Amino acid sequence: MSEPAKSWGSSYRLVAAEKWKAKSAAMGRAVTEALVEYARPTAGMQVLDVASGTGEPAISLGERVGPAGHVSGLDLSADLLEIATRRAQQRGLGMRHST
């Protein structure tokens, strides 16, 4: 991992991400829903979420494209992507996240 990526995923950011996750999910729900509606995902689509962070809108898109589709999430922080992967798994989604 590159030096900027290491500093981006430092532990203080991880703690902040965990605390922010619930708040941002609630506050960002309307934005996520608008993005998903605008994208009009359908079953079987392939989707790339750039700057995926803790997983939205990738997780919501993953629910829409279903098992026949695929969503990949990219982010500078491997630590944030670990959170995204856990969140996706909790919802029964098999998503790939990469730095």
Distance in angstroms (rounded) separating the CA atoms of residues 14 and 86: 14
The confidence score (pLDDT) of residue 19 equals: 74
Distance in angstroms (rounded) separating the CA atoms of residues 64 and 78: 25
pTM above 0.85, yes or no: no
The confidence score (pLDDT) of residue 16 equals: 74
Chunked into runs of 10 residues, the chain (99 residues) has average pLDDT values of 58 72 74 92 95 91 94 91 91 83
Domains of the chain: 3-98 (3.40.50.150)
Q: Radius of gyration of the chain from Cα atoms?
A: 13
